[in-house]
Protein backbone atom coordinates (compact mmCIF):
# COMPACT_ATOMS: atom_id res chain seq x y z
CA UNK A 1 0.00 0.00 0.00
CA UNK A 2 1.31 3.47 -0.88
CA UNK A 3 2.15 5.41 2.30
CA UNK A 4 -0.44 8.04 3.09
CA UNK A 5 0.76 11.43 4.26
CA UNK A 6 -1.02 14.62 5.22
CA UNK A 7 -0.12 16.06 1.82
CA UNK A 8 -1.80 13.23 -0.07
CA UNK A 9 -5.08 13.19 1.85
CA UNK A 10 -8.41 14.81 1.06
CA UNK A 11 -7.89 15.11 -2.69
CA UNK A 12 -11.04 15.67 -4.75
CA UNK A 13 -12.73 12.44 -5.66
CA UNK A 14 -12.51 11.20 -9.24
CA UNK A 15 -14.15 8.15 -10.79
CA UNK A 16 -11.99 5.09 -10.34
CA UNK A 17 -10.23 6.46 -7.25
CA UNK A 18 -10.87 5.02 -3.82
CA UNK A 19 -12.81 7.28 -1.47
CA UNK A 20 -10.33 6.21 1.21
CA UNK A 21 -10.01 3.75 4.05
CA UNK A 22 -11.99 4.37 7.21
CA UNK A 23 -10.82 2.55 10.34
CA UNK A 24 -13.56 2.33 12.98
CA UNK A 25 -12.31 1.66 16.51
CA UNK A 26 -14.33 -0.97 18.40
CA UNK A 27 -13.56 -0.74 22.10
CA UNK A 28 -14.00 -3.52 24.62
CA UNK A 29 -17.45 -3.59 26.23
CA UNK A 30 -18.96 -1.80 23.25
CA UNK A 31 -22.66 -1.39 23.76
CA UNK A 32 -22.47 -0.69 27.49
CA UNK A 33 -24.55 1.50 27.63
CA UNK A 34 -26.55 0.20 24.71
CA UNK A 35 -26.64 3.47 22.72
CA UNK A 36 -22.93 2.95 22.01
CA UNK A 37 -24.08 0.30 19.55
CA UNK A 38 -25.99 3.00 17.70
CA UNK A 39 -22.92 5.18 17.41
CA UNK A 40 -20.88 2.22 16.19
CA UNK A 41 -23.54 1.50 13.57
CA UNK A 42 -23.36 5.03 12.15
CA UNK A 43 -19.92 4.85 10.48
CA UNK A 44 -20.63 1.24 9.50
CA UNK A 45 -23.79 2.35 7.69
CA UNK A 46 -22.29 5.43 6.04
CA UNK A 47 -18.86 4.10 5.07
CA UNK A 48 -19.26 0.33 5.19
CA UNK A 49 -21.98 -0.27 2.61
CA UNK A 50 -20.86 0.27 -1.01
CA UNK A 51 -22.90 2.74 -3.05
CA UNK A 52 -21.55 2.05 -6.56
CA UNK A 53 -24.16 4.17 -8.31
CA UNK A 54 -23.08 7.20 -6.27
CA UNK A 55 -19.30 6.69 -6.22
CA UNK A 56 -17.33 3.67 -7.36
CA UNK A 57 -15.25 2.55 -5.58
CA UNK A 58 -16.80 3.52 -2.27
CA UNK A 59 -14.95 3.76 1.04
CA UNK A 60 -13.11 0.72 2.37
CA UNK A 61 -14.05 0.29 6.02
CA UNK A 62 -12.07 -1.62 8.63
CA UNK A 63 -13.36 -2.60 12.09
CA UNK A 64 -10.37 -2.38 14.40
CA UNK A 65 -10.58 -3.94 17.85
CA UNK A 66 -8.76 -2.70 20.93
CA UNK A 67 -8.53 -6.09 22.60
CA UNK A 68 -5.34 -7.20 20.89
CA UNK A 69 -4.69 -8.82 17.55
CA UNK A 70 -6.93 -8.71 14.53
CA UNK A 71 -9.81 -11.12 14.50
CA UNK A 72 -10.67 -10.84 18.17
CA UNK A 73 -14.19 -10.10 19.33
CA UNK A 74 -15.48 -7.22 21.43
CA UNK A 75 -18.34 -8.21 23.73
CA UNK A 76 -21.45 -6.06 23.53
CA UNK A 77 -24.80 -5.60 25.21
CA UNK A 78 -27.81 -7.89 24.99
CA UNK A 79 -25.74 -10.89 23.98
CA UNK A 80 -24.34 -9.20 20.88
CA UNK A 81 -20.71 -9.46 19.83
CA UNK A 82 -18.65 -7.61 17.22
CA UNK A 83 -15.93 -9.43 15.32
CA UNK A 84 -13.07 -7.11 14.39
CA UNK A 85 -11.00 -8.34 11.43
CA UNK A 86 -8.40 -5.59 12.05
CA UNK A 87 -6.41 -4.47 15.07
CA UNK A 88 -4.95 -1.23 16.42
CA UNK A 89 -1.82 -1.66 14.31
CA UNK A 90 -3.96 -1.01 11.24
CA UNK A 91 -4.97 2.50 12.33
CA UNK A 92 -1.70 3.94 11.07
CA UNK A 93 -2.54 2.79 7.52
CA UNK A 94 -5.99 4.37 7.40
CA UNK A 95 -7.01 7.61 5.73
CA UNK A 96 -9.66 8.31 8.39
CA UNK A 97 -9.90 6.96 11.94
CA UNK A 98 -13.29 7.05 13.70
CA UNK A 99 -13.70 6.49 17.44
CA UNK A 100 -17.47 6.09 17.99
CA UNK A 101 -17.32 5.85 21.79
CA UNK A 102 -15.30 4.68 24.75
CA UNK A 103 -16.44 2.42 27.62
CA UNK A 104 -18.72 4.22 30.05
CA UNK A 105 -16.44 3.74 33.09
CA UNK A 106 -13.72 5.69 31.27
CA UNK A 107 -16.10 8.64 31.12
CA UNK A 108 -18.09 8.46 34.34
CA UNK A 109 -15.50 7.00 36.70
CA UNK A 110 -12.28 8.19 35.10
CA UNK A 111 -10.94 4.71 34.43
CA UNK A 112 -7.88 4.88 32.15
CA UNK A 113 -8.26 4.21 28.47
CA UNK A 114 -6.20 1.37 27.01
CA UNK A 115 -2.68 2.67 26.55
CA UNK A 116 -2.36 0.80 23.27
CA UNK A 117 -5.40 2.64 21.89
CA UNK A 118 -4.08 6.05 22.92
CA UNK A 119 -0.68 5.37 21.36
CA UNK A 120 -2.26 4.00 18.17
CA UNK A 121 -4.33 7.17 17.79
CA UNK A 122 -1.22 9.32 18.15
CA UNK A 123 0.62 7.28 15.55
CA UNK A 124 -2.30 7.40 13.12
CA UNK A 125 -2.55 11.18 13.41
CA UNK A 126 1.21 11.57 12.98
CA UNK A 127 0.97 9.46 9.81
CA UNK A 128 -1.59 11.89 8.40
CA UNK A 129 -4.91 10.24 9.23
CA UNK A 130 -8.00 12.35 9.63
CA UNK A 131 -9.19 11.78 13.20
CA UNK A 132 -12.90 11.66 14.01
CA UNK A 133 -14.79 11.10 17.25
CA UNK A 134 -18.48 10.55 17.86
CA UNK A 135 -19.91 11.32 21.30
CA UNK A 136 -17.58 10.01 24.04
CA UNK A 137 -14.95 9.08 21.47
CA UNK A 138 -13.69 12.62 22.10
CA UNK A 139 -12.22 11.37 25.40
CA UNK A 140 -9.91 9.06 23.45
CA UNK A 141 -8.73 11.85 21.13
CA UNK A 142 -8.25 14.15 24.11
CA UNK A 143 -6.27 11.53 26.03
CA UNK A 144 -4.00 11.20 23.00
CA UNK A 145 -3.43 14.96 23.07
CA UNK A 146 -5.02 15.44 19.66
CA UNK A 147 -7.56 17.99 20.92
CA UNK A 148 -5.10 20.21 22.81
CA UNK A 149 -5.67 23.82 21.82
CA UNK A 150 -8.54 22.84 19.56
CA UNK A 151 -12.26 23.49 19.71
CA UNK A 152 -14.14 20.22 20.19
CA UNK A 153 -17.48 18.84 21.29
CA UNK A 154 -19.17 15.73 22.65
CA UNK A 155 -22.64 14.85 23.90
CA UNK A 156 -23.81 17.67 26.17
CA UNK A 157 -24.18 15.20 29.05
CA UNK A 158 -20.40 14.62 29.00
CA UNK A 159 -18.91 17.96 27.95
CA UNK A 160 -18.41 19.18 31.53
CA UNK A 161 -16.38 16.06 32.32
CA UNK A 162 -14.40 16.44 29.10
CA UNK A 163 -13.57 20.07 29.90
CA UNK A 164 -12.62 19.31 33.52
CA UNK A 165 -10.41 16.35 32.63
CA UNK A 166 -8.71 17.98 29.63
CA UNK A 167 -8.38 21.73 30.32
CA UNK A 168 -6.31 22.31 27.17
CA UNK A 169 -9.34 21.43 25.04
CA UNK A 170 -11.73 24.26 24.11
CA UNK A 171 -14.95 22.35 24.71
CA UNK A 172 -18.10 23.68 23.03
CA UNK A 173 -21.25 21.99 24.31
CA UNK A 174 -23.62 23.95 22.09
CA UNK A 175 -22.92 22.50 18.64
CA UNK A 176 -23.63 19.30 16.72
CA UNK A 177 -20.08 18.85 15.47
CA UNK A 178 -16.79 20.67 15.01
CA UNK A 179 -14.71 20.40 11.83
CA UNK A 180 -11.16 21.45 12.63
CA UNK A 181 -9.71 20.17 9.39
CA UNK A 182 -7.80 17.01 10.25
CA UNK A 183 -9.59 16.47 13.58
CA UNK A 184 -13.38 16.40 13.83
CA UNK A 185 -15.62 15.77 16.84
CA UNK A 186 -19.38 15.40 17.22
CA UNK A 187 -22.06 15.30 19.85
CA UNK A 188 -23.86 12.03 20.52
CA UNK A 189 -26.37 9.87 18.69
CA UNK A 190 -27.74 11.49 15.50
CA UNK A 191 -25.12 14.26 15.58
CA UNK A 192 -22.62 11.53 14.76
CA UNK A 193 -24.63 10.79 11.62
CA UNK A 194 -24.54 14.49 10.73
CA UNK A 195 -20.76 14.46 11.01
CA UNK A 196 -20.33 11.31 8.93
CA UNK A 197 -22.50 12.75 6.18
CA UNK A 198 -20.45 15.94 6.41
CA UNK A 199 -17.33 13.86 5.74
CA UNK A 200 -18.99 12.36 2.67
CA UNK A 201 -19.76 15.88 1.47
CA UNK A 202 -16.13 16.85 1.94
CA UNK A 203 -14.80 13.76 0.20
CA UNK A 204 -17.30 13.00 -2.55
CA UNK A 205 -19.31 16.17 -2.97
CA UNK A 206 -22.72 17.50 -2.05
CA UNK A 207 -24.61 15.47 -4.66
CA UNK A 208 -23.36 12.14 -3.28
CA UNK A 209 -23.98 13.15 0.33
CA UNK A 210 -27.47 14.41 -0.46
CA UNK A 211 -28.42 11.23 -2.27
CA UNK A 212 -27.02 9.07 0.52
CA UNK A 213 -28.96 11.07 3.12
CA UNK A 214 -32.11 10.65 1.07
CA UNK A 215 -31.66 6.87 1.08
CA UNK A 216 -31.19 6.97 4.83
CA UNK A 217 -34.29 9.21 5.20
CA UNK A 218 -32.39 11.84 7.17
CA UNK A 219 -31.77 15.57 6.61
CA UNK A 220 -29.19 16.10 3.89
CA UNK A 221 -27.27 18.71 5.85
CA UNK A 222 -27.44 20.02 9.38
CA UNK A 223 -24.67 22.59 9.92
CA UNK A 224 -22.26 21.73 12.71
CA UNK A 225 -22.99 25.00 14.47
CA UNK A 226 -26.64 24.11 15.02
CA UNK A 227 -27.53 23.83 18.70
CA UNK A 228 -27.40 20.38 20.30
CA UNK A 229 -30.46 20.89 22.41
CA UNK A 230 -33.52 23.00 21.65
CA UNK A 231 -36.75 22.52 23.55
CA UNK A 232 -38.76 22.41 20.31
CA UNK A 233 -36.29 21.86 17.42
CA UNK A 234 -38.89 22.48 14.69
CA UNK A 235 -42.31 24.09 14.61
CA UNK A 236 -45.01 21.62 15.55
CA UNK A 237 -47.26 20.63 12.69
CA UNK A 238 -50.32 21.75 14.60
CA UNK A 239 -48.92 25.33 14.56
CA UNK A 240 -50.86 26.32 11.46
CA UNK A 241 -49.66 29.93 11.68
CA UNK A 242 -45.89 29.50 11.90
CA UNK A 243 -44.89 26.51 9.77
CA UNK A 244 -46.38 27.78 6.48
CA UNK A 245 -44.70 31.16 6.75
CA UNK A 246 -41.32 29.57 7.42
CA UNK A 247 -41.75 27.32 4.39
CA UNK A 248 -42.67 30.39 2.36
CA UNK A 249 -39.62 32.28 3.63
CA UNK A 250 -37.30 29.42 2.64
CA UNK A 251 -38.74 29.52 -0.87
CA UNK A 252 -38.20 33.28 -1.15
CA UNK A 253 -34.80 33.84 0.40
CA UNK A 254 -33.75 35.94 -2.59
CA UNK A 255 -36.15 38.62 -1.37
CA UNK A 256 -35.39 41.29 1.26
CA UNK A 257 -37.41 39.77 4.12
CA UNK A 258 -38.00 41.48 7.46
CA UNK A 259 -39.56 40.34 10.72
CA UNK A 260 -42.49 42.62 9.97
CA UNK A 261 -42.97 40.94 6.58
CA UNK A 262 -43.02 37.46 8.11
CA UNK A 263 -45.25 38.48 11.00
CA UNK A 264 -47.72 40.09 8.60
CA UNK A 265 -47.81 36.95 6.45
CA UNK A 266 -48.41 34.86 9.58
CA UNK A 267 -51.19 37.24 10.66
CA UNK A 268 -49.39 37.98 13.92
CA UNK A 269 -47.92 41.02 15.58
CA UNK A 270 -44.11 41.22 15.27
CA UNK A 271 -43.81 40.62 19.02
CA UNK A 272 -45.98 37.49 18.92
CA UNK A 273 -44.15 36.17 15.87
CA UNK A 274 -40.79 36.78 17.54
CA UNK A 275 -41.87 34.94 20.69
CA UNK A 276 -43.33 31.94 18.85
CA UNK A 277 -40.39 31.53 16.49
CA UNK A 278 -37.93 31.69 19.34
CA UNK A 279 -39.91 29.09 21.29
CA UNK A 280 -40.08 26.80 18.24
CA UNK A 281 -36.49 27.08 16.98
CA UNK A 282 -34.43 28.40 19.85
CA UNK A 283 -33.30 31.44 17.87
CA UNK A 284 -34.47 34.91 16.88
CA UNK A 285 -36.20 35.65 13.56
CA UNK A 286 -33.19 37.56 12.19
CA UNK A 287 -30.77 34.82 13.18
CA UNK A 288 -33.13 32.21 11.72
CA UNK A 289 -33.20 34.11 8.43
CA UNK A 290 -29.41 34.43 8.38
CA UNK A 291 -29.03 30.71 9.02
CA UNK A 292 -31.42 29.90 6.18
CA UNK A 293 -29.63 32.29 3.83
CA UNK A 294 -26.26 30.81 4.68
CA UNK A 295 -27.66 27.31 4.19
CA UNK A 296 -28.90 28.31 0.76
CA UNK A 297 -25.53 29.84 -0.11
CA UNK A 298 -23.70 26.74 1.05
CA UNK A 299 -25.91 24.48 -1.06
CA UNK A 300 -25.29 26.62 -4.14
CA UNK A 301 -21.54 26.73 -3.52
CA UNK A 302 -21.46 22.95 -3.11
CA UNK A 303 -23.55 22.02 -6.12
CA UNK A 304 -23.20 24.77 -8.75
CA UNK A 305 -20.56 26.84 -10.55
CA UNK A 306 -22.53 30.06 -10.17
CA UNK A 307 -20.42 33.17 -9.48
CA UNK A 308 -20.21 34.22 -5.85
CA UNK A 309 -22.00 37.47 -6.72
CA UNK A 310 -24.98 35.53 -8.07
CA UNK A 311 -25.04 33.23 -5.04
CA UNK A 312 -25.16 36.29 -2.82
CA UNK A 313 -28.22 37.49 -4.71
CA UNK A 314 -30.04 34.13 -4.72
CA UNK A 315 -29.46 33.58 -1.02
CA UNK A 316 -30.56 37.07 -0.09
CA UNK A 317 -27.17 37.98 1.36
CA UNK A 318 -26.65 40.69 -1.24
CA UNK A 319 -23.20 41.50 -2.52
CA UNK A 320 -20.23 39.18 -2.74
CA UNK A 321 -18.56 41.18 0.04
CA UNK A 322 -21.56 40.72 2.33
CA UNK A 323 -21.63 36.99 1.57
CA UNK A 324 -17.91 36.77 2.32
CA UNK A 325 -18.36 38.67 5.59
CA UNK A 326 -21.07 36.34 6.87
CA UNK A 327 -19.24 33.24 5.67
CA UNK A 328 -16.08 34.20 7.51
CA UNK A 329 -18.07 35.00 10.64
CA UNK A 330 -20.32 31.94 10.68
CA UNK A 331 -18.45 29.24 8.73
CA UNK A 332 -14.86 30.35 9.31
CA UNK A 333 -13.72 30.29 5.67
CA UNK A 334 -14.33 32.33 2.52
CA UNK A 335 -16.98 31.18 0.04
CA UNK A 336 -14.24 30.30 -2.48
CA UNK A 337 -12.35 28.17 0.03
CA UNK A 338 -15.59 26.50 1.07
CA UNK A 339 -16.43 25.65 -2.54
CA UNK A 340 -13.02 24.06 -3.10
CA UNK A 341 -13.65 21.71 -0.17
CA UNK A 342 -16.71 20.18 -1.87
CA UNK A 343 -15.99 18.50 -5.20
CA UNK A 344 -19.03 18.12 -7.40
CA UNK A 345 -19.02 14.53 -8.54
CA UNK A 346 -22.34 14.81 -10.37
CA UNK A 347 -24.86 17.50 -11.34
CA UNK A 348 -27.43 18.37 -8.67
CA UNK A 349 -30.84 16.82 -9.10
Domain shared by 195 and 317, yes or no: no
Does residue 62 register a pLDDT over 80?
A: yes
Same domain, 98 and 200: yes
Same domain, 79 and 161: yes
Same domain, 142 and 181: yes
Q: Same structural domain for residues 26 and 120?
A: yes
Q: What is the pLDDT of residues 160-186, one digit of tens each?
A: 999 999 999 999 888 889 999 899 999
What pTM does this model have? 0.65
Least confident of 29-38, 59-68, 197-206: 29-38
Is residue 305 domain-shared with residue 208, that is, in the same domain?
no
In a domain, 1, yes or no: no
pLDDT single digits (tens) 224-272: 555 554 333 444 434 456 788 988 999 999 999 999 999 999 989 999 9
Residue 151 has pLDDT above 90, yes or no: yes
- For 273-281, which contacts have Cβ atoms below 8 Å and span 24 or more sequence positions? 273/242, 276/239, 276/241, 276/242, 277/242, 277/246, 279/231, 279/232, 280/232, 280/234, 280/235, 280/236, 280/239, 280/242, 281/230, 281/232, 281/233, 281/234, 281/235
Structure confidence at residue 183 (pLDDT): 96
| Beta strands per DSSP E along 299-339 | none
Domain boundary among 216, 250, 272: 216
182/59 same-domain check = yes
Query: In this prediction, what percent of the chain has a pLDDT beyond 90?
Result: 43
Mean pLDDT of 102-115: 86
Question: What confidence score (pLDDT) does residue 18 get?
Answer: 56
CATH of the domain at 128: 3.40.50.880
Percent of residues, the chain, with pLDDT higher than 70: 79
Q: Which residues contact 147 (CB under 8 A, 6 or more apart)?
A: 138, 141, 166, 168, 169, 183, 185
- Is residue 171 located within the same domain as residue 210? yes
Domain of 68 in residue numbering reads as 6-216
For the residues 58-83, what does the mean pLDDT come to? 74
| Number of domains comprising the chain | 2
For 233-237, 277-281, 304-308, which range has the lowest pLDDT when averaged over its residues? 233-237
d(CA 307, CA 310): 5
**Of 190, 216, 242, the domain-final residue:** 216
Amino acid sequence: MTPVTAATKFLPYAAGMSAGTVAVVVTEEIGLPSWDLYELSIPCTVFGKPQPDLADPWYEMWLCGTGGSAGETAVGAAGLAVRTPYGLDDLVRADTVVVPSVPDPCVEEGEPLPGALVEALREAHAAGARMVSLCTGAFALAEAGLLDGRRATAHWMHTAQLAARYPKVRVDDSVLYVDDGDVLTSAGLTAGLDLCLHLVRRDLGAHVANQLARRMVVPAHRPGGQAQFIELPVPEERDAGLAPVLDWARAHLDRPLTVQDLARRAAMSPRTFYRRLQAATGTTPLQWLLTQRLGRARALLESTDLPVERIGELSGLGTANNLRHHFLGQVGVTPSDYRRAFPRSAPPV
